[in-house]
Structure formats: structure tokens, C-alpha cells
Amino acid sequence: MPVARSLSGHVADLVSVAGKGPAVVIGHSYGGDVALGAAIEAPDVIGAVGAYEPPLPWTPWWPRRSASSIANEDPATFAEGFFRRVVGDAGWDRLSASARAERRADGPALVAELADLRRRGAPFDLTQLRVPLVLGRGGASVWHHRRAIDALVELVPDAEVIEIPGAAHGAQLTHPDAFADFVRRVVRRALDASPRNGARSVDQA
């Protein structure tokens, strides 16, 4: 099976993995977009969704970067630069040579995914979300990641927001205990919404 390189492809993969459910889906960054799309696509399968700082590049206020400019990047160089921006130069410097090579090898898929997000308008209608939503963000995150959470709450007023003090976009690396609490809260929301059903989690990094 070919590796998915579009949001719709990843959503289809996640729905397939969730099977007949019930499942809880939790995604970080781009994985948050995948989790949201899957929850809208399969509300009978997914009991709750958690999204930590999902990007919203189709909004007019998100920092501009065209699909064509991303697609024309050298994939390996782009992947390294992306890692440095998200995790920091110190994080990159701590990686082993083999880990750096693996991150750079992710470049073609990363370029394809991010370019796909910028080729069209909103990929899903969040007003159609019918399952509990928990949103996460870091207290030290950049402005557009923080604003994305406010924009999502406007579309889904019942959403719960959990902020991790001192964390930025890579909270799962820098604040793992607090991020684990975020995950547990999503699972609890699923159990509270359907107390007679068990729920298994399916994570999207």
C-alpha cells in the first residue's frame, strides 16, 4: 500500500485503523488535522478527538507560504529546517547521525503533506463535528498556533481547551507528563459521553 501524502489519504487510513471502534483519536500538529478529519468522517466509530495545535494554513491570518514554494524545496533540507523550527536547533544537535538521516528522509512526504494543506480551502467543515473535542496548546507557543485554538473554539463552542504552561509546539517532548494528562482528558471525555462503551486510543503524531 502506498504511503499517504495528502490529508484525505491520512484521514482514510486513520478511519480504517479505527475499524468499528469505539476509538479515541489524538493528534499533534498535522496529526491533529488528521484526527479532526477522521472524527468528522466517522462519528459512529470515534468517541472523542484531541488535537494539539493543529495547523490551519487555509485561514487568511496564517503565515503565508504557497503550495508551489513548498513543493519546490529540496525535501531533505526542508525537513531539517522544519524540525529546527518546531523542536529547536538544540533538539536537532542532540540527534544521532542516523536519526538526522531518518528525519531528512521524511522530507518528500513532509513536503507533499504541507503543500497539500495549502492547495485548497478548509479541508473539512468543523461545524459538522459531532463528538467531544479537546484542544491543546502551549503557553509559550507562537501566535498562530495559539490563535488556531481560538479559531477552532469559535467553530466548535463546546470544545474544551487545555493549555500547558511553559510549553511550545513540541510539548510531547518537553512536557510529557502534562501532554499525557491531555491525552487522558480526551479519553475521559469519550467515556463520559458513552459510559457503557469502552474506548481505545489511536494516536496520530
| Domains in the chain with CATH codes | 7-62+123-204 (3.40.50.1820), 67-116 (no CATH)
Band (pLDDT 50/70/90 cuts) for residue 115 is: confident
pLDDT digits (tens, 9 = 90+) for 33-92: 999 999 999 999 999 999 999 999 888 898 876 666 666 778 888 888 888 877 778 888
Residue 197 has pLDDT above 50, yes or no: no
Contacts 24+ apart (CB under 8 A), 65-74: 65/118, 66/118, 67/115, 67/116, 67/118, 67/119, 68/115, 70/111, 70/114, 70/115, 70/118, 71/111, 71/112, 71/115, 73/111, 74/107
pTM: 0.81
